[in-house]
Amino acid sequence: MSLKDQITEDMKTAMRAKDSARLGTIRLLLAACKQREVDERVVLDDAAVVAIVDKLIKQRKDSIEAFTKAQRMDLVDQESAEVTVLQAYLPQRLSADEVATQVRAIVAELGASGPGDMGKVMGVVKARLAGKAEMSAVSAAVKAALAG
């Protein structure tokens, strides 16, 4: 069963359980998937769906930060609940040590050195670690590897 099919099944389950908060988040995710399919005229594979989930989680985390500064805890709680629902659709994430190890291997493979090679390294790292690690942590690992 593809990830998109799993999300559709979870939506049906949430409808039957009358879980409106979860249902709303799942519908939002499916709408984002459908929008991308229509815009690009493609059928999304699991990797593309994971990328959409990552993007939605990042948006929610940015919103949580803004709402926290504005002291809107009701909205922080709502966004946090949405993040929890969305995270269920992500594959197992790599630990910080695993990310650093893979980044060092890619840096050595490319023969990169210094901050000037950051773009070249990030291009390869994004391709290999997409969906497996949070890109902000990956970016920090790349900076550390190129500095050291």
Radius of gyration in angstroms for the set of CA atoms belonging to the chain, rounded to a whole number: 18
What percent of the chain has pLDDT above 70? 99
pLDDT tens digits for range 2-60: 899 999 999 999 999 999 999 999 999 999 999 999 999 999 888 889 889 989 999 99
Whether the Cβ atoms of residue 112 and residue 120 lie closer than 8 Å to each other: yes
- Res 148: pLDDT: 66
What domains sit in the chain, N to C, each tagged with a CATH number? 3-87 (1.10.1510.10), 96-147 (1.10.10.410)
pTM equals 0.76
Identify the band that residue 70 occupies on the pLDDT scale cut at 50, 70 and 90. very high
Whether the Cβ atoms of residue 121 and residue 107 lie closer than 8 Å to each other: yes
Q: Does residue 135 register a pLDDT over 80?
A: no
For residues 131 and 114, give the distance between their C-alpha atoms in angstroms, rounded to a whole number: 26
